[in-house]
Homo-oligomer: A and B are copies of this chain.
Amino acid sequence: MALLKGNAIVGQSGGPTSAINATLSGVIRGAADSDAIVKLYGMVNGIEGFLEGNIIDLSGLFFDEKKLSSLELTPASALGSCRKKLPPLSEDLGLYQRIFEIFKSHNIRYFFYIGGNDSMDTVYKLSEYAKTVDYEIRVVGVPKTIDNDLPEIDHTPGFGSAAKFIATAIKEIATDCSVYKVKAVTIVEMMGRDSGWLTCAAALPKYYTGIGADLIYLPEVPFYDNEFLDDVMAELEKHPNVVVAVSEGIRYENGSYVGASNQSGAVDVFGHKYLAGTAKNLEALVKREIGCKVRSVELNLLQRCASHIASATDIDESILVGKSAVSLAQDGATGEMVSMVRSDESGYKIEITKVPVSHVANKVKFVPREYINEKGNNVTKKCIDYITPLILGEKPIKYENGMPVHIRLK
């Protein structure tokens, strides 16, 4: 295959993570090393900013080791993000034409979009449209999401760092809660609208050290108030300080969210409901039915931005995935997403591969039933073994005035 020479553009989309800039750095590193790519542009605020002509030149970062390593430990999308979903081709052909006019005017031959399920939909639509026009461009999806809910990939860049923060926070919170003798229940809520991957990470401290979350509830199994109360009472019999980890997306058998009564009913542009009251509702339930001391804690935004405790494994893999996007595209990949396969050999090892983006777009990977115990109130050893290698290792963090140093690109 002849080398497709020209410029490239990279964008970030969807919710930020602690590792999404490591992936961006990987794309920059890959582009700098590439024979095919002349200039690398960045979309400011994803496809939305791109349509408004908001583009910056990232080529100045090529081989700038100091800035790139700083970028790799800066949380959130340094290029800005958006939540814009492209309409079907049939509804707004003009939009696709406009996007491609900008591609042409900058001689952009490579488009890398770093994002999750919804962003892969954009990659899919643009790569499908590209087939219909006389302009060669390779459109490659680069995975990221703390939710770990993308199919066709062993785990997603960004998940390991979020999981490391959660495991650490749960360990520290459970230690904090263990100091009093009074019976008390602490309910900690993790992100995860549909899948419970992040909440699974809350199981690690208790498994390894004996102190941590005693009960784990995931959206993958229906939630029953009475079973939950029985579980909590049984734990309170064993020790006075019970820690419960719940996913924001846990639902009753009829499908309604446990957190529903505290929510505004607001939905984002993808139609996803905002949920934030799950632990609060359970706090009220325990107070009413058990009557002991009870409190709720939402780990909230820090799950996706606490880069000061990023997983070195996650950061390194995120860089690798970004670099690999460039080399795969250069070798002809388009309409595909970079993926990772875990080798079956003993020890943890990842191999880079690619999958058709249509297998990923708008799809969700749930926690498999074999990762959840029979009662549905904790995880199994298989789950622990799956997550553990992803949270290993720490990066040296630079501090200035007592706070971690970040870099800004826009």
**Is the pair A308, B172 in contact by a Cβ cutoff of 8 Å?**
yes
CB distance from A212 to the nearest CB of B (A): 9
CB distance from A193 to the nearest CB of B (A): 15
State the CA gap A168–B301 with chains docked (Å): 13
Which residues in B have their C-beta under 8 angstroms from that of A16?
176, 179
Identify the interface centre among A209, A305, A311: most chain B CB within 10 Å of its CB.
A305
CB distance from A176 to the nearest CB of B (A): 4
Name A404's closest neighbour in chain B (CB-CB): B168
**Is the pair B48, A400 in contact by a Cβ cutoff of 8 Å?**
no
**Is the pair B205, A403 in contact by a Cβ cutoff of 8 Å?**
yes
Which residues in B have their C-beta under 8 angstroms from that of A397?
394
**Is the pair A173, B297 in contact by a Cβ cutoff of 8 Å?**
no
Q: Which of A75-83, A101-109, A149-157 is found at the contact surface with chain B?
A: A75-83
**Is the pair A309, B311 in contact by a Cβ cutoff of 8 Å?**
no
CB distance from A310 to the nearest CB of B (A): 11
Interface hits, A53-99 → B, CB 8 Å? 74-77, 80-83
**Is the pair B76, A208 in contact by a Cβ cutoff of 8 Å?**
no
A391 sits at the interface (CB 8 A): yes
Interface secondary structure of A, over-half rule: mixed
A272 sits at the interface (CB 8 A): no
Known: A179-B16, A204-B403, A401-B208. A302 touches B173 (CB 8 A): yes
A167 sits at the interface (CB 8 A): yes
A323 sits at the interface (CB 8 A): no
Residue in B169, B180, B307, B393 whose CB lies within 8 Å of A82: B180
CB distance from A172 to the nearest CB of B (A): 4
CB distance from A210 to the nearest CB of B (A): 9
Interface hits, A305-353 → B, CB 8 Å? 305-309, 311
Residue in B45, B186, B306, B403 whose CB lies within 8 Å of A208: B403
**Is the pair A164, B209 in contact by a Cβ cutoff of 8 Å?**
no
State the CA gap A172–B76 with chains docked (Å): 8
Which residues in B have their C-beta under 8 angstroms from that of A276?
295
Residue in B74, B171, B181 whose CB lies within 8 Å of A175: B74
Residue in B83, B176, B402 whose CB lies within 8 Å of A164: B402
A234 sits at the interface (CB 8 A): no
State the CA gap A76–B180 with chains docked (Å): 10
Which residues in B have their C-beta under 8 angstroms from that of A261?
none
CB distance from A404 to the nearest CB of B (A): 6
Which residues in B have their C-beta under 8 angstroms from that of A306?
169, 172
**Is the pair B76, A175 in contact by a Cβ cutoff of 8 Å?**
yes
Which residues in B have their C-beta under 8 angstroms from that of A45?
179-181
**Is the pair B298, A181 in contact by a Cβ cutoff of 8 Å?**
no
State the CA gap A309–B172 with chains docked (Å): 11
Known: A49-B181, A175-B74. A209 touches B403 (CB 8 A): yes
Residue in B176, B307, B402 whose CB lies within 8 Å of A75: B176
Q: Contact residues of A with B, CB < 8 Å?
A: 12, 16, 45, 48-49, 74-77, 80-83, 164, 167-169, 171-173, 175-181, 186, 204-205, 208-209, 211, 264, 276, 287, 295, 297-298, 300-302, 304-309, 311, 388, 391-394, 397, 399-404, 406, 408
List 6 other contacts, CB 8 Å, given A208-B401, A298-B298, A392-B402. Answer: A76-B179, A80-B180, A209-B403, A302-B302, A388-B401, A388-B402
Can you spell out 17 A-B residue pairs with CB atoms less than 8 angstroms apart?
A16-B179, A45-B180, A75-B176, A77-B179, A80-B180, A80-B181, A168-B308, A171-B404, A172-B301, A204-B402, A205-B403, A297-B298, A297-B301, A298-B298, A311-B402, A391-B402, A394-B397
